[in-house]
Chain A
Amino acid sequence: MNLHEYQAKEILQQYSIGVPQGVLVHNPEEAMLASKTLQSDRVVVKAQVHAGGRGKAGGVKLCKHAQLVETAAAMLGIHLHTAQTDQAGKLVRQVWVEEAVNIAHEYYLAILLDRSQHCISFMLSTQGGTDIEEIAKTSPQDILQLAIHPSAGLQAWHIRQMAFFLQLEKQHQRQFSTLVRQLYQAFCQTDASMLELNPLVRTQEGQFIALDAKFSIDDNALYRQKVIADMRDFAEEDALEVKAAQYGLNYISLDGDIGCMVNGAGLAMATMDMIHLKGSRPANFLDVGGGVSQDTVAHGFRLLLEQNHLKAILVNIFGGIVRCDLIALGLIEALKTHDLHIPLVMRLVGTHEKEGRQLIEDAGLAVLWAHDLDEAAQLAVATHGESS
């Protein structure tokens, strides 16, 4: 789960980590209130969207205090197109306005779940405020990666290693040490998967401030992070994906026009790959999963049938736990209220497959049967676009 910058900063503040003073603004009236609250000569107006690369796209603007309201008002309501958004871009519904700081140096500091070393790792660079992946390519020696062994936890020598790497002067080291300990604690206590401060700033006054913060929380841990879970901004997520999740479906929107329903994430990905191999593109990833109910399956079918741009549907079920007759019943139920206006290819194999096929045939549904995944993908691509 991703958090907005302003939410990340709210959490960091709770851990006594320095952040610029800021106000969340949704409209010109709130902007005017913000201009009374914030006292600095210059302010920064930042679009609050779940996408990186805001700066280059005009989503981060430094301006004089007097221009706060007009800058905020101009940014609200626009669609921000960054390197990380799709064609539609992200609608800017809210901006975070904060006091500008006097930057002495910008660092990069991130904490992440290191799956290669099976631990939490720190990543640091003296070059903050830039694209870290560029640095990794062009000057990898400017990046320090430090694995924190789970048995040891964060230790003083780790922090010394970081401080020496960042070439911190003696008078800044103590504050840096406290900052790192607090960040690590925040990361662990919130079940984070990623916390990136780019940049972490040392101000001319000698303070360490998190100028930007990207904070992601492990989805598997949300059940025990209720406060954070409540911060979720569903408006930043794909509407179909959110709707599907409410029905207990694992759904991801893609850019093609062949709808998919599969049981199992690996098989679902392989099904998408097969569609690609056969020359077309899937409209979605949909994993109905092991414990699925007839109701859930029906919801899944409705979700697919309601998308007018779909030209075919491919159902690939290799049922171990999932029962094929359940899939059939779900389809039949969905078709009570929705028309089957596009080709439906079904590969239904496994538990109760005979019963499943029988149910569909008895209902007189125009299904194109496939024996294996290759045939299913072939059929789906061949017939897509033909109306049934």
Chain B
Amino acid sequence: MKRSTLVLLIGILAIVIVAGCLLLLSTNSLRAASAVTPPARTPAQINLLTVFLTGLLTGGLTCLAVQGGLLATTIAQREEQKLEDRAKNNGNALPILFFLFSKLIAYTVLGLLLGWFGSLFQLSLTTQVLMQIAVAIFMLGTALNLLNIHPIFRYFAIQPPKFLTKVVRNQSKQKDFFAPVFLGAFTIFIPCGTTQAMMALAIGSGNPLLGAAILFAFVLGTSPIFFLLGYFATKLGDVLHERFMKLAAAILIFLALYSLDGALALAGSPLTFRTIFSKPQAVGRQEISSEPTLALTKGGYSPTSLTIKAGSLVTLHLINSNGQGCIQAFTIPRLGIQKVVPVGSSGIVRFTAPLKPGQVPFMCGMGMYRGIINVI
């Protein structure tokens, strides 16, 4: 087998193995992390996988155009200095691998910064709602731009200032072998649509480790395709490119609506996507309690409905056995109550039930895991 083919196969295998292991590891370390740091504001398990898949299926292609072009320039300049067959022996796999590893590290650090920046805006309900709406709008705008709906959506794509792009350009002119490494890191200044949406997600997570994990998962997802296509340096047909753009847009819209739905619930709106599309739950016969207990678990809150007497003084016991991420931020938007109960601990919320009978929703800090308090 030719040496270059061997390097290529090793490269692909390495990326797939590293991807699998690190994704598992990062999910587990997130569980530990969210126990000691301020509650992460994203259901970690769901989003990381979606993020990785977005990168895998669409991110690699949408970014390949110029980031790949940059890489191709450095490779071409390497070959100018050698005889063609010597270049073929070593193959182009190594510079691409260097490029991708460097990009991975740079983006993970960026995710750390973005998540930390997001966490500065603390748990005020209003801020959280605004943040989620902003993230949803940005993702929707990016998706609509990917679908070429209207030129106005082009403004959702952030173009880095000229002086930054000049630096990236100068790096690509170097015939140095380490140029790909610098290039990989500098690509954070020329992110494409899907990458920017992921950056928005990282900010919205409000947790540096989660932000880092999100961008890490995304870049990891883009790597296999980037590597394969970069290696063969072939341009994919226009039709396939169109299909990938549509898939990226669809995933972004899904993430945007999910974020928006949570924002609506947190804002105390009785109308959210879930209430419109799901059948109202039948309220079973329930014991009225003035001291109910609510368990915070991995899958949400249990039970999902509580019954209390109108106008009464209620002492709610919250026990967190293994509730991760936003579940730790127990919220009753209508009553303006938010109590953070870290995993493995318990807490108490005291309030006076509203005088009017009705339903008062409770939910996690991002509006995603929900339940109902029946006031009778």
Are A and B genuine complex partners? Answer: no
Contact surface of B with A, Cβ cutoff 8 Å: none
